[in-house]
Structure 1
């Protein structure tokens, strides 16, 4: 019976990918086109997938940068770039994973005596600030209120957030980041429980 039934092969339809002028890159991605290409090569390497309508690594980085630079709905990001929402979701998740794998290259707190000595010298030379090895602060990153333990995420300004503690060196480069605390937690508690 099956040999007499017509087989149906759906045709894949890919959205048109939008190419940008170089002047639009900074407004949309907060980086120049050259920098987006460098970041893409550094974190994602060579394009691994060439089948059908697969995104190049530069396109994947554009989706990610657009999402983190102007958080919104993945549908809107996908529509602006020319991909489906599910592709935008998978792309953001994949790129974050790849960046986190290399985070130790870029985010390092001074631990050796030599690192501490160099950090102190940089603060002294640049800002005439003796004995400093870094600057520390916390900030609230707004999130959707979670279903579980929702009240723990509501901060003193009455919106749901994650309280992020970060340190930087004299060159304004991150040296540590802690994103493990809900918004209701006070900065001093995060500091007391940190590894810094």
Structure 2
């Protein structure tokens, strides 16, 4: 009979992004400064805080940072895990847990309101007629419009792809009457 070996778990050092990066570096990596990251974390802290520190539980600040880094860059989970000192499966679990916390109706309701009335139902019919998608009342999209570098605050207009741009968003809510 072969002797069973028990492997000791190896815990790598965890990254503390708030101490490692200044606000400019945080914005370039996470799309938020330290105040913004703490604000977002405080919104979901109760949902993300582990009841114990057993097995070096990942704290809420790190969970939000990992998720924001993933969303901001689309970087592979394995690379994010290496950056933060956790495994890829842990990164996957953290992202899922954090996004689920962000998607709670009470949290979404703090920032988004959609009117529910006959116009709402008409918009749903119109969008269904246009694209065949049921339940849609509006659409939103964004893009970066390339600009010539401004002379003042030039660095504030450099996007993540290293060219000067304005980040614009378009919201479309149908306004024409639907065919009867």
When normalised by structure 2's length, the TM-score is 0.56
Structure 2 residue aligned with 1:12: 9
Q: Find the aligned partners of 1:81 and 1:26 in 2 and give their Cα distance.
A: 17
Structure 1 residue aligned with 2:21: 21
1:7-37 deviations in Å (ceiling 9; x for gaps): 6432110122123222321111111112212
Where in structure 1 are there 5+ consecutive unaligned residues? Answer: 113-135, 141-165, 169-186
Give SS of 2:109's match.
helix
1:71 is aligned to 2:74: yes
Runs of 4+ displaced beyond 4 Å: none
Structure 2 residue aligned with 1:107: 112
Higher relative contact order (CA 8 A, sep 6+): 2
Alignment of 1:160-179 (within 5 A): 167=171
Alignment of 1:102-141 (within 5 A): 102-111=107-116, 137-139=139-141
Where in structure 2 are there 5+ consecutive unaligned residues? Answer: 118-137, 143-169
Q: Find the aligned partners of 2:141 and 2:31 in 1 and give their Cα distance.
A: 20
Give SS of 2:103's match.
helix
1:61 is aligned to 2:38: no
Cα drift, residue 87 of structure 1: 0.7
Q: Which segment drifts farther, 99-108 or 61-70?
A: 99-108
When normalised by structure 1's length, the TM-score is 0.52
